[in-house]
Amino acid sequence: MNKVMLKAENLHKIYKNGKIHLEVLKEINLEVKQGEILCIIGPSGAGKSTLLHVLGGLDQPSRGKVLFEGQDLYRLSEKERARARNQRIGFVFQFYHLLAEFSAWENVMLPAMIDSSGFTQAKEKAEALLQLVGLKHRLSHRPTQLSGGEQQRVAIARTLINDPDIIFCDEPTGNLDSERGAQIVELLRNLNEEKKKTLVIASHEERIAKIAHRIIHIRDGRLV
C-alpha cells in the first residue's frame, strides 16, 4: 500500500473584510497517497482553488494542519516553505503565468535558476522537458507565438524542472478547447504512469475525473 504523502487535518479558511467573514473551507480532512491521481470535483466557488493553495503551501489556513510527509507545512518559516514549494511541490494553473518576454525554454528553466542550478545544466534540462511534452520544435517561441495548449505544456514542463514529489493542478484544461484539453489530460496521465508523479487536480470536467484513481467532491467549502 502506498504511503500517505500529504494529510490535511480539520482545515478551515476564513477571509475577513471588515465585519464580513467569508468561510471558504470548513472542516477539511483528507489524505493524498504517494503515486495517486486525486481529483477534487466541485462547481465554481466551491473552494477548490483555495483548497489547492492551502494544501500546496501557498495560503495559510485559518485553522488546522497540512502535513507533508509528516511535517507541518505552516510551522516552517516562510523561507523553508518557499524552498519546499520550489523543490518538492509543483503547481499547474488554469492561467499559464508565463513571462511574455521570455522564450519557452527560458520560462521552463526559471525555477531551476532560483534553485541556483548552473545555466547550462538548467537550459539542457528545460529543453529535454519541452521535448518530453512534445514541444521540441517550439523551444525559442515566446508565449504569444504559442497556442493555449502549447502554453499549458510549457507551464507543465516548468513545473517539472525541479522534479517535484507532488503536483497540484488547478483547472488545467479550463481555458482549452476539447482537442487541446484532451492532450493535456493525456500528458498528466503519462506523468503519473511513467514518471510516478503524485497529482492533485481540481476540476469540474469529466475528462479529468476519468484519469483519477480517486475522486472527492467539494461543495460550499466542505467535502461531501
Domain segments of the chain: what residues? 34-58+77-223
Answer whether 200's CB lies under 8 Å from 168's CB. Answer: yes
pLDDT tens string, the chain, 224 residues long: the values are 589 999 999 999 999 888 888 899 999 999 999 999 999 999 888 899 999 999 999 999 999 999 999 999 999 999 999 988 888 999 998 888 899 999 999 999 988 887 666 888 889 989 999 998 888 899 999 999 999 889 988 999 999 998 899 999 998 888 888 888 888 899 899 999 999 999 999 988 888 888 999 999 999 999 98
- DSSP category for residue 210: T
C-alpha cell at 186: 493525456
The CATH topology of domain 34-58+77-223 is Rossmann fold (3.40.50)
> How far lies 95's CA from each of 149, 152, 183, in Å?
11, 8, 17
Taking the C-alpha atoms of residue 9 and residue 27, their distance in angstroms, rounded to an integer, is: 8
Taking the C-alpha atoms of residue 40 and residue 139, their distance in angstroms, rounded to an integer, is: 33
